[in-house]
Amino acid sequence: MPPSSPSDGLGRPAVAGLLAAGIALGTTELVAGLVPSAPSLVVAIGNGVVELGAGSRVKEIAIALFGTNEKTALVVGTVVLALLFGAVLGVVGRRRSIGIASVGIGAFGLLGVAATTVNPLDSTAWSLLPAVLGVAAGVATLRLLLRLDRGIDRAAVGHPGVGRGRREFLRIAVGLGAVAGVIGAFGRTLSSRTAINVARDEVVLPEAVRTPAPVGLATEFEGIDGLSPFFTPNETFYRIDTALTPPMVDVDSWQVRIHGMVDREVVLTYQDLLDLPQVEADITIACVSNEVGGDLIGNARWQGVRLSDVLDMAGVDPAADQVVGRSVDGWTGGFPTDIAFDGRDCLVALAMNGEPLPIAHGFPARLIVPGLYGYVSATKWLSEIELTTWEAFDGYWVPRGWSKEGPVKTQSRIDVPKRGTRLQAGPQVIAGVAWAQQRGVDRVELSIDDGPWQEAVLADELNVDTWRQWRFDWDAGPGQHVIRVRATDRTGTTQSEERVPVAPNGAEGYHTRVVTVT
């Protein structure tokens, strides 16, 4: 094909390339949905980006911008970049060579195949199937649309039918765009509707012993609109991990291996764990990336097996001073062995708020360790528990610049009033939550407009590992006001006023809210 003249429009070629990329992506998603062994190349590329950004500020920036939607944003960003790349290839194919453009589409397919090597759960061999079919569909689409575009240009220099050709191009382009969207969405739907969901729904949880014994919770906090509920619902519980999409773990073949510095290696199936004595504990967990006042924290009722019971089955070498949890996707986190035996409710958790663990939160099993940030302790989709020494191994985030120990810091947050709220002068309620896992919250205080610290009313404490709701009745006067909050734990330590970033071991500072009263 001879090159086009410089005056040729680039709109239709760009649309042709964009649609070719869309058809290619949609085809790979459809194949991944139809063939369980074939990975999603979009997700594989996203996982590669996660891995590359893990040691930089990319993670912090992504969480700051998108919160728990960071993974959705990454998938959308990957798709958008692929479509833009396709648009460029469409212009190249029209003005230079369709062969070069076809090679570009193929190169993007190979990038997806290469990205599957990042995730141990992805099969690089099976990834060739969606890659080959996706590239073939994309190249065919690009050739079709560029042939139509050339026909329109020929008509423009003397042949009749220019308007008809443009309408045909538009009609086919719209149709192909719809096809790309439908097959892509259908493929993602097939991927999410798996036998794993069915197996999870069929789990019958055994009876569990509650620890500690339940007590009544304060009712004067129930009617405060906007205050975080004591138990965070599963569907709104924060999710921060390195898996772009949650691993789908087959419980029939899944097992957890306890090994390393132990007297005997132990392998437990899901049913083995269900058959062990069950405990139920209310525990607040938090992400180290939680900014001051952030929502990367939640409280749940967890059910499972005591980690100490599982470790006792293997017999821990006295010299083993680190417990390492390993996920099915290769992620690792480690914490001191003593913590598993010091009396806190460390669990191999199987359930969350009365139902089997949601897939996004670690089904079939995960670790829950009160008092430590999740990046060193809360291994989801658990596959191994290894006993080793503190010096012999660093968990996933430690070589990437984060602290090795990760104890949760004493913090507090204002939930009510919300940011930017305009209040009426007169009686108003300020309310929120405070936490100091393994120490307990002793008091919460507020300062308004840099005035004296005044003590808030605390809800009853369920245990030292859950957050406490608090409220403060305020006679609000007209004007703009600055509200600050701080918490003091049972050791007498008051949270620091100085602002500290999340890296390397958690944020510090007073949460502040500015409100206008009219």
Count of beta carbons in the 10 Å neighbourhood of residue 3: 10
Residue 130 CA to residue 493 CA, distance in Å, equals 56
DSSP state, residue 83? H
Residue type, 34: L
Both tokens of 392, joined, read 């012999």
Residue 484 neighbours by CB distance under 10 Å: 20
Q: pLDDT in tens for each of the 518 residues of the chain?
A: 334 433 346 788 999 999 999 999 999 989 988 887 888 888 888 877 777 666 556 666 666 666 666 777 778 888 898 999 999 999 999 888 889 999 999 998 999 898 888 777 788 888 899 999 999 999 999 999 988 887 776 655 555 555 676 778 888 888 888 988 898 888 877 766 666 888 898 999 999 987 665 555 555 687 899 999 999 999 999 999 888 888 889 899 999 999 999 999 999 999 999 999 999 999 999 999 999 999 999 999 999 999 999 999 999 999 999 999 999 999 999 999 999 999 999 999 999 999 999 999 999 999 999 999 999 999 999 999 999 999 999 999 999 999 999 999 999 999 999 988 899 999 999 999 999 999 999 999 999 999 999 999 999 898 999 999 999 999 999 999 999 999 999 999 999 999 999 999 999 999 999 999 99
Report the distance separating Cα 100 and Cα 104, nearest Å: 6
**Cross-strand pairs, 302:** 281, 352
For 515, phi then psi, to 5°, come to -130, 155
DSSP string, 115-138: HTTSSTTS-HHHHHHHHHHHHHHH
Q: Is 353 in contact with 301 (CB distance < 8 Å)?
A: yes
pTM metric for this prediction: 0.81
User: The dihedral of CA 150, 152, 153, 159: what is its sign?
Assistant: positive
What are 326's strand-pairing partners?
332, 384
CA distance 377 to 44: 25
Task: Express the helix, strand and coil content of the chain in percent, nearest 5 each.
Answer: 35, 25, 40
* C-alpha closest to that of 108 among 1, 15, 13, 28: 28
Cα–Cα distance measured from residue 469 to residue 471, given in angstroms and rounded to the nearest whole number: 7
Q: Residue 1, SS3? A: coil
**What is the rounded CA–CA span in Å between residue 224 and residue 273?**
40
DSSP state for residue 500 in the 8-state scheme? B
Q: How far is CA 41 from the centre of its chain?
A: 18
Neighbours of 131 (CB within 10 A): 27
Helices 98-115 and 41-53 cross at an angle (nearest 10°) of 70
